[in-house]
A and B are shown apart, each in its own frame.
Chain A
């Protein structure tokens, strides 16, 4: 199975990287930009048996290590390879 994990800064938290990139895009003439938020994308290949186990494993990986819940939110998808 393949887990696709999307991590992004929590709503309302200043994202210094996103702010800088937003400024750079505006300078390049992309003047319709309203906001840029930069996060992380993680792919994990694994063997979890069934989808329910996979869901709970990935959630647990995120909550234990991959995501800092003080500043980040996450979503994920599980795909059969």
Chain B
């Protein structure tokens, strides 16, 4: 079976690209390229990951400047071909700024950069990114961000709920989505969203940091294995 071809986009200021590269290569067995932000085509890939970091130093707003990079034009073309996109942390912020998903990120309501393990509940397993989980599974996974406080207008939130686009929600250890288990003030406890076609998943938690037992946590591993299964 030919290897899955994956690309990890690297902007100036991206800093989770090597971890993501490792996860794609070791966990999924992909043929992986680091893709510089000036790249003009992504046609040869089946999976594109926008990793975490601080693209363009988070200047103006997180993700705002990255949105106008040449690679984002290529990403739009890639989307039209229904290629899979996984946006992690800064990747989520960039996808929102690029309006490839609705809403916006605000500063955490604690005003602090939060770096810790949280619990999230898997809301649906009929996406290419979550098919090896069970609906309602609770996974422990790290977050590391200052702007992960998801905001959507009432209309946006109603539409996300109606179309079942919320893939992960922050929850407590029993799987309840409480205010206390919400680390950043995110509306509806949103930790991850997909588009209506389920070809794009954007999430604030870092699955690449929970993809291998040698890292002390492999509860995010199934995200990579799900994508592998979906693309095989």
Contact = CB atoms under 8 A, between A and B. Distances in A.
B36 interface: no
A28 interface: no
B104 A68 contact: yes
A71 interface: yes
Interface residues of B, number: 20
A70 B63 CA distance: 14
B188 interface: no
Nearest to A38: B107
A20 B108 CA distance: 12
B97 A20 contact: no
A14 interface: yes
Given A65-B64, A70-B153, A71-B151, A16 B103 contact: no
Contact of B107 (A16, A66, A68, A70): A16
Interface residues of A, number: 10
Interface in B109-162: 109-111, 149, 151-153
A17 interface: yes
14 contacts: A13-B151, A14-B109, A14-B185, A16-B106, A16-B107, A16-B111, A16-B149, A20-B111, A65-B68, A68-B61, A70-B102, A70-B103, A70-B104, A71-B151
Interface of A: 13-14, 16-17, 20, 65-66, 68, 70-71
Interface of B: 60-61, 64-65, 68, 97, 102-104, 106-111, 149, 151-153, 185
